[in-house]
Structure 1
Amino acid sequence: MVRTMPSLRALFTVRRVRPTPPTTGLPPDGDVLLDAPDDRLGPALVAAALGDHEPAAKLLATTRDAAEWENRDRYTARLATFAHSRGEWLAQWLATSPGDPDARLVEAELAVRRAWQSPTRAERLRELSPLVDAAVAADPADPVPWRLALDHARGAHTGAAVFEARWEQAVRRSPHHYGCHVAALKYLSAPWHGSHGACFDFAEQAADDAPAGSLVQALPARAALAQLLSGDAAGAVPEARIDAAAERAVALSAVYPVGDPWPAEVRNKLAYVLIERGRRTEALEQFGRIGRYATSFPWASVSDDPLARFLEARDAVRSCAPAAVPRFGRAGHGRAHGHYA
């Protein structure tokens, strides 16, 4: 029996096709995809949909062998997200190669994600400690399991000493790993164990230390986004500091080609921050650079339909006078997204 290859586009969310004026330079709404994979991840997801884990295994093995830690982190997260609802391929992978460090990493990522959704999150996460430890031990050089360990420690309330020890292990393996820095930024956020000021201090220092072109250069903009999403004026940093964070992210965005999927989430977050700051022209430029690569985060934080919210925001900055561009609702009106946001 011949199995039909599923359409790659069918694996991702595409909603609400509306005509887009051709003179805008922006892709039509129907061409915009939510969380579209790159050319390496896409075939692995299609194969997984057919129950074949081999392309995913080869992809993650390649990133591990080549020390492509940023790609490895992204691909692990996306594969775990896919396995959340379609996990037969992962079960087969684990049954076939139970000691595979890549399979164990995806398994641990998926388990932690599921535990975060539980009403008894901290308790369930603590029960997963052996699984996370096994993923860490599977490859001593890999920083990605340590990013997972940081997320695990935050949710399990293991204490500052444990978190700091894991942070030291993470940066020892990759000093400028973006995922580990995001995990630390969340730990320092106002809803967890820090404040808006602590987030900015950490993010700005990390960006100062990071090489040109590193995604860590956009970490201050992520701190700005966290403050804007919180709607919390207590301990808020000055607006000039938010604008400076946006400027740094604008400079980073300019380094990458238009329509490049690699910085897509950074650009989506930056567009959100620029809209909140009333910087319509610069937000429109970022939407042009985003092209068709919409990402769930940050739009899922303010809407249960992130793609629709992305398109609405894009329409607003394209067609409205600056004063008429609507601001967003605050956190809690949508759903948490990303690495256990």
Structure 2
Amino acid sequence: MALLRDWGLALGKWAGRPLAQVQKDSGDPEVQRVRHAAAAGDWSAVRQVLEARPESEDRTELLWAVGDTAGVERWIDTVLEAEPDAALPRLVAGVRYISWGWEARTGARAQHVSREKFEVFHARLRTAEQWLYEAAEREPQWTSPWCGLQTTGRGLQVGQSTARRRFEATVRRDPHHLRAHQQQLQQVCDKWGGSHEEMHAFARTSAFGAPGGTLLGQLVAIAHLEHWLSLDAGADRVYMHRSEVADSLHEAAEHSFRHPDFVRRGAWIQVLNTFAMAFSLAGERGAARECFRATEGRVTEFPWYYLNGADPAAAYRQHRSATGR
């Protein structure tokens, strides 16, 4: 097995490009640390990692690494009882119940989800809302509770007005919070009760309202991918090959990852993967190749699972090969 592995690595180097592998996080070592601590039920270590980061975009990935860890729901209640006035345990509980709720719902389309699963989904999201509101009351300046409430709101179908208020509460505290904008973009998609026009307008306003080098340029690419997803076979390709789509992607790229102030931090790999897929589907091979080169074989599940949910890296490799990389 070792020989086969070494041969595979050598082949990847010989081919002049790194092997494509799904990257589960940004590479921040604290993500693995907090995930292991959460799995072990070590609240002291979880708290130490989370409290060392500002309550903003910097904490987001760490917080959701805890929330996505199975078993947190089995020990977090004990922490809540022991620290009745603390905001952080309530925030962690809220995020875990969001993730746990979506685990119950599964990623299937609504018509394929049973009533029983929806009941569990909604019950867990309502519990999440309780913890998130309590965290927000204890720490009024924190961003994360409101960002979490954006996600629960979509699952509970609170409506566009309430969803917008929750988004605005988040960005009042952190104007360029990427996850908050990603959540609101989903909220205004046609599939969640919005429209293509509203979605594209929100993406452009958010991206170009932020300073040059912003990660929010990704929103423009996501909006085109969401529009593409909504169309039937054939019509989807025609849409992505429209000249105005390519122009829009290039304009967003210039304001985002091509800008001299772009910093490779946080979710930057996901941003490049999103542009890589969008440019590839748009037939912009040179621009797609530029993005693939910058990712250095690091694949993020989003957005490639839109093409291959079972193996996002396979979709990445296929499209990278088509660009000549």
Greater mean deviation of Cα atoms: 96-105 or 146-155:
96-105
Give me the TM-score of the superposition, normalised by structure 1.
Answer: 0.75
Q: Which residue of 1 aligns with 2:324?
A: 318
Say which SS state the counterpart of residue 67 (structure 2) adopts.
Answer: helix
Greater mean deviation of Cα atoms: 223-232 or 236-245:
236-245
Q: Which residue of 1 aligns with 2:114?
A: none
Does residue 282 of structure 2 align to residue 295 of structure 1? no
RMSD: 3.1
Say which SS state the counterpart of residue 20 (structure 1) adopts.
Answer: helix
C-alpha change, 1:104 and 1:281, in structure 2 (3 Å) is same
- AA paired with 2:280? I
Structure 2, gaps ≥5 residues long: 106-116
- Residue of 72, 84, 87 corresponding to 2:59: 72
Q: How does 1:217-236 map to 2 (within 5 A)?
A: 217-231=217-231
Q: Which residue of 2 aligns with 1:61?
A: 51
Q: Which residue of 2 aligns with 1:245?
A: 248
Equivalent-residue separation in structure 1 for 2:72 and 2:14 (angstroms):
38
**Is the 8 Å Cα contact of residues 79 and 106 (structure 1) preserved in structure 2?**
yes
Equivalent-residue separation in structure 1 for 2:261 and 2:13 (angstroms):
26
**Is the 8 Å Cα contact of residues 98 and 128 (structure 2) preserved in structure 1?**
yes
Equivalent-residue separation in structure 1 for 2:82 and 2:298 (angstroms):
35
**Is the 8 Å Cα contact of residues 146 and 167 (structure 1) preserved in structure 2?**
yes
**Is the 8 Å Cα contact of residues 249 and 270 (structure 1) preserved in structure 2?**
no
Q: How does 1:89-100 map to 2 (within 5 A)?
A: 94=80, 97=83, 99-100=85-86
Following superposition, the deviation at residue 172 of structure 1 comes to 1.6
Q: How does 1:147-296 map to 2 (within 5 A)?
A: 147-231=147-231, 239-251=242-254, 252-254=256-258, 255=260, 262-296=267-301
Following superposition, the deviation at residue 86 of structure 1 comes to 6.5
- AA paired with 1:192? W
**Is the 8 Å Cα contact of residues 135 and 145 (structure 1) preserved in structure 2?**
yes
- AA paired with 1:106? V
Bigger helix share: 2
Greater mean deviation of Cα atoms: 85-94 or 201-210:
85-94
Following superposition, the deviation at residue 33 of structure 1 comes to 4.2
**Is the 8 Å Cα contact of residues 225 and 278 (structure 2) preserved in structure 1?**
yes
Say which SS state the counterpart of residue 90 (structure 2) adopts.
Answer: helix
Q: Which residue of 2 aligns with 1:332?
A: none
Say which SS state the counterpart of residue 191 (structure 2) adopts.
Answer: coil
C-alpha change, 1:311 and 1:103, in structure 2 (3 Å) is farther
**Is the 8 Å Cα contact of residues 199 and 223 (structure 1) preserved in structure 2?**
yes
Give me the TM-score of the superposition, normalised by structure 2.
Answer: 0.79
Following superposition, the deviation at residue 292 of structure 1 comes to 4.2
Identity of aligned residues (%): 25
- Residue of 309, 312, 317 corresponding to 1:306: 312
> How many residues are matched?
297
Following superposition, the deviation at residue 23 of structure 1 comes to 5.2
Structure 1, gaps ≥5 residues long: 1-13, 320-341
Following superposition, the deviation at residue 202 of structure 1 comes to 0.9
Q: Deviations over 1:215-254 (max 9, x none)?
A: 12221112112112233559x7993442233214433223
Equivalent-residue separation in structure 2 for 1:28 and 1:246 (angstroms):
26
